[in-house]
């Protein structure tokens, strides 16, 4: 969970919130907003070079030992060991350093910018002098605007095809069919990253195959990937899949060596896929009937929103959409009557 941190003074409200979250969502993990930390760094530490050091400490994909060595060496070279803000920030490193947060899912977010962006967007539609009725109408416009953006993004993901240019055509095509346009761009970066990896070795431990890779320019840093051919399960030490829901370049490299042409189901995060809102392929498992009904309601509502948005553009489209919806209503009424009587 992202948390804004204007300073390192913990208020009673902060403590109460953390206590409540720990009780209601015990598996949740606080993550401090990286943007606010950088801002505080510039304001509280009057050492220009430290901002670069601190920024790297936040974002770099260090392991814990590398982070500790980097921090200790940097602080000693800049003589900031006695700086109060630096020490207090280091004490809560588990809440901001990527080295300590690897493997926890944050969907790629490190800042609170998305929430603040929503607040800023809503303010464009609202005025302090609005009546309750005007407020409701303004919020309705906000929702419609968001739905329009959603429909537009869905349209581009469905009907626009990106260029295949990574050299791993089969795997890239598999990703293109699976992911939305925005997510595919990120996945594509990882597929391209395969070209920068150096194969270090392959060994078998029982039914598991262990691959070792290093990166060009960093032969000292070896990353291991575990592959179980029976379950088609692949796990990587870098934990990118666990943090972002996207397979890393190490995993794609294993897929290359194993001759895979499609991304295994165990590595597909449904929320990033084009069919994320399609409940027809969703396995309900032991979900309650009410939960299943809500999922189906959400999927149908989203589909009809898409139809309504496109159908109101032109007179011909409106007539076509209205007739189709009327026919659907008649069929459902006949279906319901059949089962009642």
Residue carrying structure tokens 């967007």: 121
Band the pLDDT of 68: cuts 50, 70, 90.
very high
Higher pLDDT, 50 or 18: 50
Mean pLDDT of 45-72: 90
pTM metric for this prediction: 0.69
Higher pLDDT, 287 or 212: 212
Q: How many CB atoms lie within 10 A of CB 229?
A: 11
Band the pLDDT of 304: cuts 50, 70, 90.
confident
CB 311 within 8 A of CB 328: no
339 torsion bin: left (phi>0), alpha (psi -120 to 50), beta (else): alpha
Band the pLDDT of 267: cuts 50, 70, 90.
very high
Query: Using one digit for the tens of pLDDT, what is the confidence trace for 106-115?
Result: 887 788 777 7
Tell me, what's the pLDDT at 340? 46
Mean pLDDT over each residue of the chain, to the nearest integer: 83
Tell me, what's the pLDDT at 132? 87
Tell me, what's the pLDDT at 308? 79
Rg (CA), the chain: 25
> Which ranges constitute the DSSP H helices of the chain?
12-24, 34-44, 48-59, 64-78, 84-91, 98-101, 113-125, 132-159, 169-178, 181-192, 240-244, 249-257, 289-311, 315-340
């Amino acid at each position: 969970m992202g948390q804004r941190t204007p300073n390192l003074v913990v208020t009673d409200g902060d403590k109460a919130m953390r206590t409540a979250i720990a009780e209601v969502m015990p598996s949740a993990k606080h993550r401090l907003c990286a943007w606010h930390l950088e801002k505080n760094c510039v304001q509280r530490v009057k050492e220009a070079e430290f901002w670069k050091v601190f920024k790297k400490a936040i974002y770099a994909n260090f392991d814990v030992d590398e982070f500790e060595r980097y921090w200790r060496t940097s602080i000693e070279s800049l003589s900031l060991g006695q700086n109060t803000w630096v020490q207090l920030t280091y004490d809560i490193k588990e809440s901001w350093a990527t080295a300590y947060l690897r493997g926890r899912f944050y969907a790629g977010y490190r800042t609170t910018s998305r929430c603040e962006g929503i607040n800023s967007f809503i303010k464009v539609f609202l005025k302090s002098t609005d009546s309750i009725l005007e407020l409701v109408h303004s919020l309705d416009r906000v929702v419609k605007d968001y739905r329009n953006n959603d429909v537009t993004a869905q349209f581009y993901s469905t009907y626009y095809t990106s260029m295949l240019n990574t050299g791993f055509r089969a795997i890239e095509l598999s990703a293109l069919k699976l992911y939305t346009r925005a997510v595919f761009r990120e996945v594509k970066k990882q597929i391209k990253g395969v070209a920068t990896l150096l194969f270090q070795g392959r060994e078998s431990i029982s039914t598991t195959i262990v691959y070792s890779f290093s990166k060009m320019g960093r032969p000292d840093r070896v990353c291991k990937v575990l592959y179980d051919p029976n379950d088609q399960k692949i796990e990587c030490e870098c934990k990118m899949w666990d943090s972002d829901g996207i397979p890393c370049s190490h995993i794609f490299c294993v897929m290359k060596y194993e001759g895979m042409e499609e991304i295994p189901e165990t590595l597909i995060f449904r929320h990033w896929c084009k069919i994320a809102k399609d409940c027809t392929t969703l396995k309900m498992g032991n979900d309650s009937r009410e939960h299943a009904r809500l999922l189906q309601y959400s999927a149908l509502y989203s589909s009809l929103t898409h139809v309504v948005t496109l159908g109101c553009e032109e007179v011909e489209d409106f007539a076509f959409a209205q007739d189709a919806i009327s026919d659907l209503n008649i069929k459902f009424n006949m279906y319901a009557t059949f089962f009642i009587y």
